[in-house]
Amino acid sequence: MSSLASAPATTPVTQDVLTVPRPAPDGPVNLVGLPRPALRAALVAAGTPEEQASMRAAQLWQWIYGKGARDFAAMTNLAKDYRALLVENFTLARPELVTRQVSADGTRKYLLRVAGGAEIETVYIPEEDRGTLCISSQIGCTLTCSFCHTGTQRLVRNLTAAEIVGQILYARDDLEDWGRTPVEKRRITNIVLMGMGEPLYNLDNVRDAMKIAMDGEGIALSRRRITLSTSGVVPEMVRAGEEIGCLLAVSFHATTDEVRDQLVPINRKWNIAALLDACRAWPRLSNAERITFEYVMLKGVNDSDADARRLVKLIAGIPAKINLIPFNPWPGAPYERSDPDRIETFARIVNKAGYASPVRTPRGEDIMAACGQLKSASERARRR
C-alpha cells in the first residue's frame, strides 16, 4: 500500500490548487471547480470592482453550470470589455476526450485526459427511469481491493474539484443534456461516486465538486440523487455525510474480518465493527435515506448461506439495502462470479430478513465499463 493510504485521514491527501484562486502568475486560472466564494475572489483579484463581484460571479455561475458555456465569448449578457478581462485571466478548462466507447446496452465509457496527461474513466449508464453518471474521484486508487481492476493501477493522484465536476460537464456536453428541465427530463439524473478511486481519501475536492453539482443555480441535482461509495474510510464518513449531505454506499463485501481483510485491505485498519459504528453514526440515517451495502458476489469466497445470515445479523438495526454485485471479471483477476442460482439464494435470505436485495445488472461489460473494471488505457498501454 502506498503512503497515501496510510496518511492521517483528516489531512487532505493532496491540496487542490484550483480552489485557491490567485492572480495567475503561471497562466490563467480555471474557473471550473471553484466554490462560489472562491470564484468571486478570483474575479476581484483580476480587477472586477468589489461592488460588482457578487453579480458577476452569479452570472458566470449561470453560464458555466446552468448553460454549459465552454468559452467566455458565448456570455452575451456581459460587456465586451469584461469578456476580454475574463479571457485574459481565466479559462473554463474541462478534461479532454481521449476515447468514447458505447456499449451494446447504451452504456457510454469516456476516457478523459486531465492535467499532466493522466487519464480517468467516467461511465454513463442509461436506465428506464434514470440516467446515472459514475464519476471518478482519483486517478487509480491507493487501495488494493483484490477483486478490483482499478486497485491494480500504479499511477495514482487525487483529482481536483475541477476535474471531478469537469466529468459531469463533459458528459452533459456529450449527451446534449444542457437546458433540459425538469431534472426528470435530463439524461443525467443521478451521480454515483463509484468510478476510479476512493472518494473519502479526497474528500475536500469531492465535497467542493458535489456542492457545485447540487447548487440550485446550476446543475441543480438534489443531494439525494448523489451517492458516494466508500470502501470504509471510517474517520471521514460522518464528515462526508455532514458536509455533502449525499447518500452513502459502503463496499462491505464480506461478513468476517478474516475474509474482509483479504478482499478490502483497508479492513485491517478499520474493521467491520468500526465500519458499522460509522454507519450507525451517518447523519440523517432513516428509512428514507438508507445506506446501500454493496456486496460483490465471488464464487466460493463470500457467497454462502452462512454469509447471507451473518450479513443480516451484522447490519441489524441499520436502515439499509443490500446491493448484490455479480463479480465483473478483468484480465488476470483471481476470482470468479458466483453462479446465478447462488446469487438468487443469497438474495432470498437477505430479503427474508427484511432488506431489499437487488442484484445489480452488469452494464457495459463489452466495453469494460462495469463496476470494478475501470483502469485507464494509458496505463494498460504502457504496461503492454
Sites of contact with ligand SAH (CB under 6 A): 145, 147-148, 194, 198, 229-231, 251, 294, 296, 325, 327-328, 371-372
Contact between 58 and 217 under an 8 Å Cβ cutoff? The reply is: yes
To ligand SAH, the closest distance from the beta carbon of 148 in angstroms equals 3
Q: Is the peptide bond before 326 cis (omega within 30 degrees of 0)?
A: no
Question: Does 198 participate in binding ligand SF4 (rule CB under 6 A)?
Answer: yes
Check residue 203 for interaction with ligand SF4 (CB under 6 A).
Answer: no
Catalytic pick from 121, 198, 236, 294? 121
| Inter-residue contact 373 to 151 (CB < 8 Å) | no
Identify the residue among 189, 202, 231, 338 touching ligand SF4 (CB under 6 A).
231
| CB 256 to ligand SAH: min, Å | 17
The closest alpha carbon to 368, from 329, 341, 333, 317, belongs to: 329
Q: Identify whether 246 is a catalytic site residue.
A: no
Nearest distance in Å: CB 362, ligand SAH: 8
Pairing of strands 320-326, 291-297: parallel
Task: Name the minimum Å distance from CB 56 to ligand SF4.
Answer: 39
Q: Give the CB-nearest residue to ligand SAH.
A: 372
Q: Smallest distance, Å, CB 130 to ligand SF4? A: 23
CA distance 311 to 321: 12
Find the shortest distance in angstroms from Cβ 158 to ligand SF4: 13
Q: Which is nearer to ligand SF4, 174 or 261 (CB)?
A: 261
Q: Which does 13 bind (CB under 5 to 8 A by kind): ligand SAH, ligand SF4, none?
A: none
* Cβ closest to ligand SAH, residue 64 vs residue 165: 165
* From ligand SF4, ligand SAH, none, interface partner of 325 (C-beta below 5 to 8 A by class): ligand SAH
* Crossing angle between the packed helical segments 203-214 and 161-174, to the nearest 10 degrees: 40
Would you call 371 a catalytic residue per the annotation? yes
Going by the DSSP 8-state scheme, the letter that residue 33 receives in this structure is: T
- Crossing angle for the helix pair 50-61 and 36-45, nearest 10 degrees? 130
Mode of pairing for the β-strands spanning 157-158 and 96-102 = unpaired
**In degrees to the nearest 10, what's the CA dihedral of 262, 365, 96, 113?**
30
Residues 6+ apart with CB under 8 A from 163: 33, 95, 114, 115, 120
Choose from ligand SF4, ligand SAH, none: what does 378 bind? Cβ within 5-8 Å by kind. Answer: none
Binding to ligand SF4 in span 111-150, by CB under 6 A = 141, 143-145, 148, 150
Contacts of 162 by beta carbon, 8 Å cutoff, 6+ apart: 18, 30, 32, 33, 34, 93
Strand order in the sheet with 190-193: 96-102, 108-113, 119-126, 131-134, 190-193, 226-230, 247-251, 291-297, 320-326
158 interacts with, out of ligand SAH, ligand SF4, none, CB within 5 to 8 A per kind: none
Contacting ligand SF4 within 233-262 (CB under 6 A):
251
Q: Could you list the residues that contact ligand SF4 (CB under 6 A)? A: 141, 143-145, 148, 150-151, 197-198, 231, 251
Catalytic residue ranges: 121, 371
